[in-house]
Amino acid sequence: MLVRRAQHSREVGGHAHAGSCVGFPDTGDTLGPVREQAVAAYLAMWHDDVIAARTADYRSVALARDAAGQALTLLVSGLRQQARNGIVILGAPALDPHATSVTVAHSVTTVTVTDCADGSRWLQYAQSGARAGNGPAGRHKILASVQGIDGTWRVASLDVQGPSTCLTSPRPSSSP
């Protein structure tokens, strides 16, 4: 369900995404590890959310490992609404995240991650097991701000745009 949360091109429910770098070839780029860590935190946040969505567990402590601020609030409020409505979400979204910019200010490094997410395999069910309404389909553009403070990376903000807002995968900029 992308209106509530974003999705990616790799299956988030599995572990293929852990520690992977997306969108930046190894060209000796000194910011490459920063981009990799930010994308890894973004993917880990979605992995935690997929697991919590299976039971509408808005109290999951795992959510705060990789999300903070507005992003954490968005995930928790969506899961709380699911729980109130007796809905669980099964499957996993497909994500295609790319680190598109890096900003360093004071002791905080912020990486913008842009994604083109497909939630067509992340579906809502009533807790009884029957399919429930599944919101608007299509690929959703997602913009995330991932912050690194003292070596800890968390998604700080998340903007999941409407269906069909993402027609192609974003390409990272060539400059840091």
pLDDT band of residue 55 (cuts 50, 70, 90) is very high
> Which residues are 40's β-sheet partners?
none
Q: 30: which 2 tokens?
A: 């000194």
Q: What is the pTM of this model?
A: 0.80
Tell me, yes or no, whether 118 lies in a domain: yes
Domain CATH code at residue 142:
3.10.450
pLDDT, tens digit, 9 for 90 and up, residues 125-159: 998 889 887 666 678 999 999 999 878 999 999 99
Identify the domain containing residue 87 by its residue range.
Answer: 10-22+31-163
Determine the 3-state secondary structure of 167 from DSSP. coil
Q: Name the domain count of the chain.
A: 1
Domain contains 3: no
Nearest to 11 by CA among 64, 47, 60: 47
Which residues are CB-contacts of 131 (< 8 A; sequence separation ≥ 6)? 123, 124, 125
Per-residue pLDDT tens over the stretch 82-110: 999 999 999 999 999 999 999 999 889 99
Tell me, yes or no, whether 172 lies in a domain.
no
Task: Report yes or no on 169 lying in a domain.
Answer: no
